[in-house]
Amino acid sequence: MLLDRLKEVEKRYDELERLLSLPETISNQEVYQKYAKEHSSLTPLMDGYKEILIVNGDLLDNKAILDGKDEELKALAKEEIPELQKRHEELEAAIKILLLPKDPNDDKNILLEIRAGVGGDESSLFCAELFRMYSKYSEMLGWKVEIMKASPTGLNGYKEVIAMIAGKGAYSRFKFESGVHRVQRVPETEASGRRHTSTVTVAVMPEADVVELDVSQDEFRIDTFRAGGHGGQSVNKLETAVRITHIPSGMAVSCQDEKSQHKNREKAMKILLARLLDLEVQAQQKKIAAERKSHVGSGDRSEKIRTYNFSQNRVTDHRIGLTLHKLTEIMEGDLTELTDGIIAYYQTESLKAS
């Protein structure tokens, strides 16, 4: 029963409050932060629990009034009971979602990787536009965006762009963006006015560190070399470019955008660690999807997830059957309605599975 589960959560919540007040906890910041984080994660559940108890009490009081003789009070009770029942249902639904197993990566920063796919220059242009869209959305949420690696084209596009998006909950809002994004429009370079279809692939990876992945520095080989590209005062005189290889998997990342070898090394390592963690996440998601005999949350990067149709000002997310006729606003970073719809869909599917 839901209330029984909440009583168990309340016991843990009260225990955490006791632990957080102990001198030995306060003096150990690592332990204190661990307890504080768990306490914070349970607070919304406790708020919902307290409110649902109040609503239940009010319902019982009003139902008792119906058995009385005061007609005026009975009339008021009849008005209040449907509203209280509706609020009870809303609280119950919200609490069930809060009780779902939490993705341990949800609060993390992300590495956002966008690559041009089918469509040549048009695909590269849309790659840049998607990056701009995600950047504006992140800025609206107060999150920091930093380009880690980029391969620009001559037409203000990108063959590839990788960015770090730093902000609490970034992965929870972005994790369903991974997949193939299709754009349908008449390119500016198309003289005949013929509509083109191009694709861009998006990968969203939680930020990772060495300790979390249980790997040692001995598993990485670091090579330095002179950066390529156009000339200039300090062109290619120093070995500032860095390539890091994870020896067991053979996975490698090169970075040469920064003039400092240290910065290139730091960025390359962040990208490589994120990709290694992403492999683990995808394997876990596919295992869960296989057990459920569905593709919910499978993270399949080859799946066409969304179409952006410019002539109809339309965006369609194919996984959930959601169509919004507000492409202009979405490309300006207004992704809230779209992401809320996707998150709600997957939460509903998780509730069904549980």
pLDDT 10s digits, 55-99: 999 999 999 999 888 889 999 999 999 999 999 999 998 999 888
Average pLDDT over residues 323-340: 96
Which residue, of 98, 133, 166, is where some domain finishes?
98
> Is residue 287 situated within a structural domain?
no
State how far the Cα of 280 lies from the Cα of 50, in Å rounded to an integer: 38
Do 119 and 166 lie in a common domain?
Answer: yes
Sheet holding 220-225, edge to edge: 220-225, 241-246, 251-255
pLDDT attached to residue 233: 43
Our count of domains for the chain comes to 2
pLDDT attached to residue 27: 94
> Is residue 271 situated within a structural domain?
no
- When the pLDDT of each residue in the chain is averaged and rounded to a whole number, the result is 87
**Among 101-105, 147-151, 217-221, 299-303, which is the least confidently predicted range?**
299-303
Do 171 and 67 lie in a common domain?
Answer: no
State how far the Cα of 120 lies from the Cα of 323, in Å rounded to an integer: 27
Q: Which residues form the domain of 23? A: 2-98
Do 117 and 86 lie in a common domain?
Answer: no
pTM: 0.76
**Among 107-121, 139-153, 161-175, 270-284, which is the least confidently predicted range?**
270-284
Do 177 and 311 lie in a common domain?
Answer: yes
> Is residue 104 situated within a structural domain?
no
**pLDDT tens digits for range 147-161:** 999 999 988 899 999
Do 191 and 297 lie in a common domain?
Answer: yes
> Is residue 312 situated within a structural domain?
yes
pLDDT band at 43 (very low <50, low <70, confident <90, very high): very high
Looking at the predicted structure, is the pLDDT value of residue 262 above 90? no
> Is residue 252 situated within a structural domain?
no
Do 114 and 46 lie in a common domain?
Answer: no
Which residue, of 73, 98, 123, is where some domain finishes?
98
pLDDT band at 230 (very low <50, low <70, confident <90, very high): very low
> Is residue 219 situated within a structural domain?
no
Do 69 and 135 lie in a common domain?
Answer: no
Q: Find the CATH number of the domain harbouring 341.
A: 3.30.70.1660
Do 94 and 115 lie in a common domain?
Answer: no
Do 82 and 137 lie in a common domain?
Answer: no
State how far the Cα of 151 lies from the Cα of 172, in Å rounded to an integer: 27
Sign of torsion, CA 207 167 126 315?
positive
Do 197 and 132 lie in a common domain?
Answer: yes
Looking at the predicted structure, is the pLDDT value of residue 264 above 50? yes
The encoded tokens of residue 324 equal 């919004």
Looking at the predicted structure, is the pLDDT value of residue 334 above 70? yes
Q: Which SS3 state, helix, strand or coil, does residue 354 take?
A: coil
Which residue, of 63, 98, 133, is where some domain finishes?
98
> Is residue 304 situated within a structural domain?
yes
> Is residue 221 situated within a structural domain?
no
- Which runs of E-coded beta strand occur in the chain? 110-116, 144-152, 158-166, 179-185, 196-206, 220-225, 241-246, 251-255, 304-309, 314-317, 322-324
Alpha carbon 190 to its chain's center = 36
Residue 184 and residue 197 in contact, taking contact as beta carbons nearer than 8 Å: yes
pLDDT band at 297 (very low <50, low <70, confident <90, very high): very low
Do 137 and 78 lie in a common domain?
Answer: no
State how far the Cα of 266 lies from the Cα of 167, in Å rounded to an integer: 19
Do 136 and 67 lie in a common domain?
Answer: no
